[in-house]
Chains A and B, each alone.
Chain A
């Protein structure tokens, strides 16, 4: 590959808190030099990136790639293509595929498929329990040996607290991470949106915020009791933010993520029975949204993940009550997260920390750095670029997003993954 000389970028490296304007020289798949006095070689491709940012390749620690089993919604290839279009060079894929990722064969299959696609790295999350049934633990050690980076029954909670305790204790012995889908089914069952004003207006059964709060509290208690590492997925409520904040202050080994839709949208997005805004946990109230933003601001919430959940029209274009939960997010996450910078909630460096370094640290994955000599694994972000969310601009196989047709601001214009250009709008 011809050497690339990216000029006049704002270079952001959260590990060293580097935030400077300068140039980056990429040669032979590595970052050859960073600074403002680089002498590029003769055959270099010069690109003026004034006004743009360079960040370590983003990592999304919560995506659903649907392969194996539901390739009509997304494949590892289309999902990772969407990832790099969104600036992500690494994703962690959830295990609720068909078959479920509860055996090393499935874990290896996912990794190999991603390597063969050649876009973003995929780090499989294996299931906590076999078949996501909540009855028997999966073979954690075997799965880790095959490449699983964490364990989650995402999509379902581990309902039995005794089983969750077992999982945490067993994971602790192996140094593994448990990711909690925190939902008390006895309260949420049958619900299809947040319980409150909008559920009453639409005549639909709601899911109370207490269903999430109680489950987060339970799992935090168990993490404290067992001393194991726990990560709370897709935080959406005031209560959950407060519980996690308090647990962290008490020294519990808990981390947390939220998704862009929880700080960008409220329950009002489902008005008109918009199935594209139907997610689980559901979109909440303005108070919850602001609490999630506060959690991001003060570091209670460590990570912005997407919970990218592709669905075809077969699952979505139907009655609201029977439509599937979930929206795609890989290609809209960055513009939505950039709103936090524009609003003064996060500095660019802190935003990149939550979308690049923190998820890797939590999952124990190398990378998330921009440093001379390191592998070129980065994205160039144009925070001012406007783009329309539509079929032509999206790489995901599915279109289920409430932002369809909307114009968003800011996007990745160049993504270099493991030294290879995988997304390029610059030239």
Chain B
């Protein structure tokens, strides 16, 4: 048995508080491997991880690949352009074929919400990790965000987390809201009303229309990328106005608690959702998020595979 209560990592909802704490603690210990001169340990030797990316991705794909390699797993990466999908193969047939080659884990990035759930239904042996499905969830990103906050602020419970931007189309926001709320943080979301999903409270967040109200007294301020590619039509009059009303500027950041940290899941539209001086400023942990992503994914791979580490 793996040491998590769920065989797959499809949604933050599948994980209990104890699962999350175990992942964060494991990531903490495994992160030491990343600081060694030889950044490799043997626990996943002989294991095979398939990275199946049906959407462009740089950091998530690289992060998973490095995490697997740091633990000595074999990795294979397939992108949509190079897959049989372009020949008309269905996701279910792709799943069945991959399963037939006996990998241990399939990491799936897909443009359709629920795609990883669909794939998991056809995987009898391999575990499926959702690396982002449509505008639904990106659970490993949320876990690395939790890890980053805990490292910087020492705790999660009782924190005020402000998430500003396109909540409706952000799978990161959907997973982060669930994850922070599950760990006892108070999550406030703000942005243009056109960018809120219907009844966002169902995920565990409080909606405030003015970004200043969300940022005020916040311990964590997270800006989200405007996802033009998912919106279908422009949800705002323009980026200039967005930057002016919703952009995370130094002025707005002053409303946050002393010691508050600034996060962004990336990639950043520089100067739009976050001012350059904030992005590169002393409170920004944006690059730490990227670093921590490898450790957290190492932890997830270790824990999801039985009898390792």
Residues of chain A at interface, number, CB under 8 A: 22
**B133 interface residue, CB < 8 Å from A?**
yes
A162 in contact (CB, < 8 A): no
- Residues 104-139 of B, flagged 1 when their CB comes within 8 A of A and 0 if not, give 000000101111011000000000000001111100
Instruction: Kindly list chain A residues whose C-beta atoms are within 8 Å of the C-beta of B115.
Output: 319
Most buried by A among B110, B112, B115, B200: B112
**A212 interfacial by beta-carbon distance below 8 Å:** no
Beta-carbon contact of A320 and B114 below 8 Å: yes
B171 interfacial by beta-carbon distance below 8 Å: yes
Most buried by B among A200, A202, A204, A205: A200
The total number of A-B Cβ pairs within 8 Å is: 65
Residues of B within 8 A of A196 (CB): 198-199
Q: Contacts of B198 on A, CB cut-off 8 Å?
A: 195-197, 199-200, 206, 208
Residues of A near B174 (CB, < 8 A) are: 200, 203
Chain A 202-257 residues near chain B, CB threshold 8 A: 202-206, 208
The residue that B91 contacts in the complex, of A197, A200, A318, with Cβ under 8 A, is A318
Residues of B with C-beta under 8 A to A208: 198
Q: Does A72 contact B (CB under 8 A)?
A: no
Which of B92, B136, B200, B203 contacts A317 (CB under 8 A)?
B92
Q: Output the least CB separation between B278 and chain A (Å).
A: 28
Cβ distance B92 to chain A, nearest Cβ, rounded Å: 6
B267 within 8 A of A: no
Supposing A272-B117, A273-B117 touch, asked if A200 and B135 sit within 8 A by C-beta, the answer is: no
Number of interface residues of B (CB under 8 A): 24
Q: Report yes or no: A273 in contact with B118, Cβ–Cβ below 8 A.
A: yes
Give the secondary structure class of A's interface.
loop
Contact residue among A200, A273, A318 (Cβ-Cβ distance under 8 Å from B197): A200
Is B202 in contact with chain A by the CB < 8 A criterion?
Answer: yes
Q: Is the interface of B mostly helix, strand, loop or mixed?
A: mixed
B118 touches A319 (CB 8 A): yes
A318, B202: Cβ atoms under 8 Å? no
Q: Does A201 contact B (CB under 8 A)?
A: yes
A339 interface residue per 8 A CB criterion: no
Specify which chain A residues have a CB less than 8 angstroms from the CB of B197 in the assembled complex.
199-200
| Given the contacts A190-B232, A318-B92, A319-B91, A201 and B202 also touching, CB distance less than 8 Å | yes
- In the complex the two chains form, is B136's CB within 8 Å of A318's CB? no
B118–A203 touching, CB < 8 Å: no
CB nearest to B135 among chain A residues: A203
Complex contact A197–B202 (CB within 8 A): yes
Q: Which residues of B contact A200 (CB under 8 A)?
A: 174, 197-200, 202-203
User: B90 contacts the other chain (Cβ, under 8 Å)?
Assistant: yes
> A320 to B203, alpha carbons, bound, how many Å?
20
In the complex with contacts A202-B114, A203-B174, A273-B114, A321-B134 CB distance below 8 A: yes
Which single residue of chain B is at the shortest CB-CB distance from A270?
A: B114
Q: Which of A190, A197, A319, A320 has most B Cβ within 10 Å? A: A319
- How distant is the Cα of A131 from the Cα of B109 in the complex, in angstroms? 38
Judge whether B114 and A319 touch: CB under 8 Å: yes
Alpha-carbon separation in the docked complex, A320 to B199 (Å): 21
The CA-CA distance from A205 to B199 in the complex, in Å, is 13
Question: Would you call A321 and B112 a contact (CB within 8 A)?
Answer: yes
Cβ-defined contact, A203 with B137, below 8 A: yes
A201 contacts B112, CB within 8 Å? no
A321/B91 in contact, CB under 8 A: no
**Interface check A393, CB cutoff 8 A:** no
Set of chain A residues within 8 Å of B171, measured between Cβ atoms: 203
A202→B136 contact, CB < 8 A: yes
CA distance A60 to B118 in the complex (A): 34
Of chain B, the residue at the smallest CB distance from A192 is: B113
Output the least CB separation between A361 and chain B (Å).
Answer: 39
Q: Which of B110, B199, B203, B232 contacts A319 (CB 8 A)?
A: B110
Chain A residues in 8 Å Cβ range of B118: 273, 318-320
Q: Determine if A204 and B134 form an interchain contact, defined as CB atoms under 8 angstroms apart.
A: yes
Q: Is A322 an interface residue, CB under 8 A from the partner?
A: yes
Q: Are A201 and B110 in contact (CB under 8 A)?
A: no
B residues near A317, Cβ cutoff 8 Å: 90, 92
Cβ distance B257 to chain A, nearest Cβ, rounded Å: 29
Closest B residue to A317 using CB positions: B92
CA distance A321 to B197 in the complex (A): 17
The distance in angstroms between the C-alpha atoms of A321 and B232, with both chains bound, is 15
Partner of A201 from B90, B134, B203, B232 at Cβ < 8 Å: B203
Most buried by B among A196, A203, A204: A203
A319 to B119, CA, bound (A): 9
CB distance from A402 to the nearest CB of B (A): 16
- Which residue of chain A is the closest to B202 with respect to CB atoms? A197
Nearest Cβ distance between residue B234 and chain A, in whole angstroms?
A: 15
How many angstroms between the C-alpha atoms of A205 and B232 in the bound complex? 11
Whether A318 contacts B90 in the complex (CB less than 8 A), given A200-B202, A200-B203, comes out as: yes
Which residue in chain B gives the minimum CB-CB distance to A272?
B117
- Chain B residues, Cβ within 8 Å of A190: 232
8 contacts between A and B (CB under 8 A): A190-B232, A196-B198, A196-B199, A200-B197, A203-B174, A318-B118, A319-B114, A321-B114
Residues on A lying within 8 angstroms of B by beta carbon are 189-190, 195-197, 199-206, 208, 272-273, 317-322
Chain B interface residues toward A at CB < 8 A:
90-92, 110, 112-115, 117-118, 133-137, 171, 174, 197-200, 202-203, 232
A201-B202, A202-B136, A322-B112 known, 16 other contacts, Cβ within 8 Å: A200-B197, A200-B200, A200-B202, A203-B113, A203-B134, A204-B114, A204-B134, A204-B135, A317-B90, A317-B92, A318-B118, A319-B91, A320-B112, A320-B114, A321-B114, A321-B134
Please list the 4 inter-chain residue pairs (A to B) with the smallest Cβ-Cβ separation, ordered nearest first.
A203-B136, A273-B114, A319-B112, A200-B197
